[in-house]
Chains A and B, each alone.
Chain A
Amino acid sequence: MTELERHSYDVVVIGAGGAGLRAAIEAREQGKKTAIICKSLFGKAHTVMAEGGCAAAMGNANSNDNWQVHYRDTMRGGKFLNNWRMAELHAQEAPDRVWELETYGALFDRTPDGRISQRNFGGHTYPRLAHVGDRTGLELIRTLQQKIVSLQQEDFEATGDYEANLKVYAECTITELMKDGDAISGAFGYWRESGRFILFDAPAVVLATGGVGKSFKVTSNSWEYTGDGHALAMRAGATLINMEFIQFHPTGMVWPPSVKGILVTESVRGDGGVLKNSEGKRFMFDYVPDVFRAQYADNEEEADRWYKDADNNRRPPELLPRDEVARAINSEVKAGRGTPHGGVFLDVSTRLPAEEITRRLPSMHHQFKELADVDITKEPMEVGPTCHYVMGGVEVDPDTASSTVPGLFAAGEVAGGMHGSNRLGGNSLSDLLVFGRRAGMGAATYVDGLQERPKIDEADVDSAATEALAPFELEGGENPYSIHQDLQQSMNDLVGIIRKEEEMERALGRLAEFRGRIAKMTVEGHRQFNPGWHLALDLRNMLTVSECVAGAALLRQESRGGHTRDDFPEMSPEWRKKLLVCKLDAEGHVNVTEEQQIPMREDLLELFEVDELKKYLTDEELPAK
């Protein structure tokens, strides 16, 4: 029998970002003994990177705002592929979740009358994002972290033990979920520090592991984003949906290497920044699609006038939707008009006086100065698309966040459906809060309803341990760092922002090769804090997730949101009705199948004009009038 540390909990939450912490708070408040497991230190999760804000229709800045408007915006943003029930719950509950944070001690920026200030953002009809300067994510994670501490203090008062009912297992990675028959019975993992194994005996597991960005070469995501939750869910028999939809932010840094992939906020363009190719040409004028001709300027003079007089001029084409801009940059670079480091120039230095730039874009100025030694008031930035967010994830029940596997729940970026084919800025932080809470509640209710606690099979523990140690067994194989680099390069090149059938077939071929390389890779050293070993274990997850992305992208023969097919450039109402579902077969291979979308509830459908619905829905789906 494998030697390990054993713990027993009611609910185990994997991931300590916004969704994970909110789920844990809820589970603990429902009286469940809860564990939080995170790969990093407590409070370092990727949520801290969120800048803009948290969308919630509180109506503080504009009293016309309400959940229906937010719902409509979200559905439009996701090109109607969203799970409508999730979008509905999200829009309805987000304000309560934000207000709740204030009772935990959060300090948002204020309106003059003392309420939470809300800011404008792309795709949102009204100013809707609760924010703290441009560090909203940090505020969110710190607030939730401090709420956890406050619950622990309560437990200390009551029991003399801070960790009696709620404990954080930091720098701990889960490698396998345990099952008893169909149902979840626990989770197996290791301490990063010592390499020792740890087993959680728990009937309910909440996945809150975030996204998959580290499978791509250029990404705004941190190392933790290796798709662990996606892969764990699949290995436990759950399904993933919408995996073909990946959001590429058009402006990420490409140079210098220390900041590669890091976001350059949309406000740079909003405040006058322009995109130029290596010939010095403002190329976006060549990329205005016909449907947008009416709203976007076709000459520099008019575009420049828009900043002063938005009512009487058309918008500059730099402000086209994210996917359009990202594609345009991609084309310029492919045509050989890119910068030396494979991006284009984003220049604000010749557009605004230096003082104005530092006043309007303080954090950008600071970020470039400190991280890259680039003074954006004097020189242009080099930017290119960067992998930002995965819309796809575990298929869940909207109300309880339960996956198709009993006892397995998912919330946040690892869950799929909420954002459809494209996520609006600001909807991510509110998603975390709304569905984090629902997952915690779902898990607690599930545990209450259990007749019998599922048991862990010791044979499964042994095989999980063997699997985890496999990379140490072989000698003379490749090191995981080089395999990771190659995987990222392949995904970037072949399943990136613009997709073609034959490229994706090549990608699938390469991924099959990676499977072989990963099976033979070698890790040096011992188990104590060994980053090579950690990466080796994460690589398996990245590979599984990459297979889902490539497989689903190959099947979906249309372009929609975060999925652009060069060979099928149109959006198709027929495809809108279909979800692509990924599942592992008995041999551990990814299978992608089609599933029908559930039609939108009548009263929600009535929130839209028929003319608008016509753009997205088939004739049969339109409401009868």
Chain B
Amino acid sequence: MSYKGKFRVWRGDSEGGELKDYEVEVNEGEVVLDVIHRLQATQTPDMAVRWNCKAGKCGSCSAEINGMPKLMCMCRMNTFEEDEVVTVTPMRTFPVIRDLVTDVSFNYQKAREVPAFKPPADLKPGEYRMQQVDVERSQEFRKCIECFLCQDTCHVIRDHEENKESFSGPRFLMRVAELDMHPLDAADRQNAAQDQHGLGFCNITKCCTEVCPEHIKITDNALIPMKERVADRKYDPIVWLGNKIRRRPA
């Protein structure tokens, strides 16, 4: 069961480009990335596309398919009508390199700005004891495959280039939450979440959660709990008072 699929793929680089129409064979059971590969092998050998595992585990083949940020390897062709035009463009939040490949270095820069795990001073390797219930929350966030689709879809930087400097994006705010919930992390991260990583920019419109291929509940489980933790520290006089009293030596 194969048919001629109609594809519209953006070709170009940072200087400019255009959506080009292609007709290409589509077979049963294929995903968008298969078809893009067939285009490469038969019609456009120099079409740039970034991919790696082709199994939804590495997060390399991020693009926008019919306008939605998606992994090309996880987007099945049978989700489209046979006569439907499938539009594939690069991610639109990052600078384009060529065709479907974008420069995602913004994300690596932001990753560096999150202070690393701070091991407890008094424990040697092999002495760490943690309960499963205590690691589960952070484990969910560690499922992240760093496809950066959440960063791509987040309107804070997608629609406002100028915010890139002061906003880390959902991926790295989630990383802050992951470390803040790590049972043995010894660093204080709550003020920094708001002041350095720009948590206050987030207006919880949940597009990051919507596009996450790992189905991590980024907003509900990382960003909102982090906002509440920040509220404890910065916006809640009662908690502030309570902490003051409790910390007083008995």
Contact = CB atoms under 8 A, between A and B. Distances in A.
Partners in one complex: yes
Interface string A340-378: 000000000000000000000000000100111100000
Interface string A134-160: 010011001000110110110010000
Given A224-B52, A370-B56, A528 B135 contact: no
B50 A41 contact: yes
Interface string A500-529: 000000000000000000000001111011
A373 B117 contact: no
A543 to B, nearest CB: 19
Interface in A467-487: 479, 481-482
A95 B76 CA distance: 42
A149 B112 contact: yes
Contacts of A170: 108
Given A147-B116, A481-B41, 19 more contacts: A42-B108, A48-B53, A96-B126, A99-B128, A104-B117, A110-B131, A110-B135, A114-B130, A135-B57, A135-B143, A138-B145, A153-B112, A223-B51, A223-B52, A256-B28, A256-B29, A257-B30, A258-B73, A371-B73
A40 interface: yes
Contacts of A149: 111-112, 116
A529 B57 contact: no
A530 interface: yes
Q: Which of A96, A223, A256, A372 has the most CB of B within 10 A?
A: A256
Contacts of B142: 107, 132, 138-139, 142
A222 B53 contact: yes
Contacts of A372: 29
Interface in B132-166: 132, 135, 138-139, 142-146
Given A42-B108, A135-B143, A373-B76, A150 B117 contact: yes
Interface in B93-148: 97-99, 101, 103-104, 108, 111-112, 115-117, 119, 125-126, 128-132, 135, 138-139, 142-146
A526 B46 contact: yes
B60 interface: yes
Contact of B112 (A139, A162, A373, A481): A162
A532 interface: yes
Nearest to A522: B45
Nearest to B27: A257
How many B residues touch the partner, as a band?
35 or more
Contact of A44 (B45, B60, B74, B135): B60
B69 interface: no
Nearest to B77: A258
Interface in B39-59: 40-41, 45-59
The dominant DSSP class at the B interface is loop
Contacts of B144: 142
A436 B97 CA distance: 33
A6 to B, nearest CB: 21
Contacts of A224: 52
Nearest to B141: A107
Contacts of B54: 222, 258, 262
A277 B223 CA distance: 50
Contact of A40 (B33, B60, B115, B139): B60
Contacts of A117: 132
A114 B97 contact: no
A531 B49 contact: yes
Contacts of B29: 255-258, 372-373
B229 interface: no
Contacts of B101: 193, 529
B78 interface: yes
A531 B47 contact: yes
Contacts of B130: 107, 110, 114
Nearest to A523: B45
Contacts of B33: 258
